[in-house]
Structure 1
């Protein structure tokens, strides 16, 4: 099966390099997306540009692909469910949640000029990054890309209620399924509260399992495609 892979803020398609061979061994073709403004050489991309790139990747895939989003890009993966609910097999979200209707895509950090650079590892100290070696952290930071403000402050809109019926797997790395259930029940994540085919899966890792647990992550994705 074709699997569209979308990494979160500051990352390009190479974030999935260690996951691709594991997916291939399981019979899948991984399609990593380098988002506009995050490694494609442009600096003026918008959220709508990134959403369009995800839909284009879905449309170019063979058959009905499976779509995987990581961190902030969980919103972009859910865009595929919103715009192509009958054209995808399902969605997996890794360590993140779709933005609530009318909210900003990922306005979490202050920009420097027209972009939001990687802020360093201090904001992610603890469970997010405890499983990453100093060498890995240095490598990821060195390969990071400032995200255009037009992306981070773009406003998210949902259009098709059919998205709620798309098979959805929430991969819980630095938080537990129990914590996720609490957040959903409290109303903090309305998109997941309305999902009718939601499954929660635990993964013993930090926030970036594509680097630290690529084989385990590929196995979870493979299992999700079989639902």
Structure 2
């Protein structure tokens, strides 16, 4: 039995995994969905990126977990990737679900596809937070109208400092056991940084024919993929 610690991406909390957790438990594993500081029911709690790293490490320690599979989706791949090296021999594997990955000294903003200044301007224009995604922005990601409404309706603003603070890694990320789950409706190929990491013998690639939020669009399939990584 493994213990999965599930961390959703920007704007989301533990509730995003509600359809995945029962599937993992039915397969005989522990499943622990985590809400990061400043989001969902923890909205208003001050948070930077290292706060989120400590959120993940603290959850593993608080629950006394061993044989841990850390699952980071989207933005949360950045704090999860840092937390993985800090939990030592408790780690079984990291699973990055269509996510960003941390690079030492870099932030999510520094690798932003439109340029760092664009993201920083968007944050400044929204009181320092990243405004939640809207329903039209979810089109083409394999979500039903009902799923989009549930997803968007549950989103809360994302603390901007978590996007602009640099990652801190003590060792190469490619040295850790990891799986990258590529959601093909969000693009057919991993980003260049992920492609480089996938050259490591410790990393493997899994592709799934759905969009960027598979915990909503295909929760049972996502759970099946996660179980196969143990």
Aligned to 1:117: 131
Which 5+ residue runs of structure 2 have no aligned equivalent?
113-118
Q: CA separation in 1, counterparts of 2:204 and 2:187?
A: 9
Q: Deviations over 1:31-76 (max 9, x none)?
A: 0010001121324211111110011122234222111110111112
Aligned residues between the structures: 216
Q: 1:172 aligned to 182, 201, 208, which one?
A: 182
3-state secondary structure, aligned to 1:75: helix
Q: Deviations over 1:129-177 (max 9, x none)?
A: 2x1112221221111010111212121121134x533221111113699
Q: CA separation in 1, counterparts of 2:14 and 2:64?
A: 16
Pick closer, same or farther for the CA change 1:193–1:101 going to 2, 3 Å: farther
More helix by share: 2
Q: Deviations over 1:163-196 (max 9, x none)?
A: 533221111113699722xx44xxx348725743
| RMSD after superposition | 2.3
Aligned to 2:82: 79
Q: Normalising by structure 1, report the TM-score.
A: 0.86
Pick closer, same or farther for the CA change 1:177–1:45 going to 2, 3 Å: closer
Which 5+ residue runs of structure 1 have no aligned equivalent?
none
3-state secondary structure, aligned to 2:71: strand
Q: CA separation in 1, counterparts of 2:148 and 2:180?
A: 25
